[in-house]
Chains A and B, each alone.
Chain A
Amino acid sequence: GNSVTQMEGPVTLSEEAFLTINCTYTATGYPSLFWYVQYPGEGLQLLLKATKADDKGSNKGFEATYRKETTSFHLEKGSVQVSDSAVYFCALYGQAGTALIFGKGTTLSVSS
């Protein structure tokens, strides 16, 4: 079945450091891929998405490229801020699916 695997956290960085959070997936066909962010005590916010191979999703300085050949959708940001501290979830929506399938989440902690 479809699944998502994320790198385990926590990831601890200093402000302005480069961020990569790895995400790989297993799916049949061509799923859509997403990154969501969850701040403490809140719901999930859609951060970015990509719906086909080689698409790049971007938002608020975050980017992720849909790589079909490596079944990956790694999240990157060139310079993190303290306000980026949150839990990040990678998710997929299968071609024949009805629901999002989430990874376990990666906690990011950024210090000044």
Chain B
Amino acid sequence: NAGVMQNPRHLVRRRGQEARLRCSPMKGHSHVYWYRQLPEEGLKFMVYLQKENIIDESGMPKERFSAEFPKEGPSILRIQQVVRGDSAAYFCASSPYSAKETQYFGPGTRLLVL
């Protein structure tokens, strides 16, 4: 039973480029969450999605960041025109419909902006 999958595991971008991070939830899970972990800090919530719907994006920066969870395929977190401050580890988590509070995390994508 595969866990939450994320790719790539490491991503290097130059300032101004776009970063696309992918997340496939655990089988049977219909809820996806994205969190960001800055160096020496805990995880901060960014966005919560269900298939084809953004449920809560209160933690998402207003500009340059977007997320989707299409009917088919993985969830995508997209960062346009990256800046050095975007360098962080981005974690995806998923949960079943019946227990949204119990979230299982992927291995993360470590983004480095040069």
The verdict on A46 contacting B55 (CB below 8 Å), with A99-B33, A100-B43, A104-B41 known, is no
Q: Which 5 A-B pairs have the closest CB atoms?
A: A99-B45, A93-B101, A102-B42, A44-B105, A43-B107
Output the least CB separation between B3 and chain A (Å): 9
Interface membership of chain A positions 95-112, coded 1 if the CB is closer than 8 angstroms to chain B and 0 otherwise: 001111111110000000
What is the minimal beta-carbon distance from B102 to any residue of chain A, in angstroms? Answer: 7
22 residue pairs bridging A and B, Cβ less than 8 Å apart: A32-B101, A42-B107, A44-B91, A44-B93, A44-B105, A45-B105, A46-B102, A46-B103, A46-B104, A49-B102, A51-B101, A89-B42, A93-B100, A93-B101, A97-B101, A98-B100, A99-B35, A99-B59, A100-B33, A100-B101, A102-B42, A102-B43
Footprint of A on B, CB under 8 Å? 4, 6, 33, 35, 40-45, 48, 55-56, 59, 91, 93, 100-108
Residue positions of A touching B, CB distance < 8 A: 32, 36, 42-46, 49, 51, 89, 93, 97-105
Q: Report A-chain residues with C-beta under 8 Å of the C-beta of B33.
A: 99-100
Question: Complex Cα distance A100/B59, Å?
Answer: 12
Considering the chains assembled together, what is the distance between the CA atoms of A45 and B3 in angstroms? 11
In whole Å, how far is A109's beta carbon from the nearest beta carbon of chain B?
16
Docked pose: A92 CA to B42 CA in angstroms: 13
The A interface, classified by DSSP as helix, strand, loop or mixed, is: strand
Interchain CB contact under 8 A, A105 and B42: yes
CB distance from B13 to the nearest CB of A (A): 20
Give A84 to B45 CA distance when docked, in angstroms.
26
Instruction: Write out the residue numbers on chain A whose beta carbons fall within 8 Å of the beta carbon of B44.
Output: 102
Give chain B nearest CB distance to A53 CB in angstroms: 15
- Chain B, residue nearest A97 (CB): B101
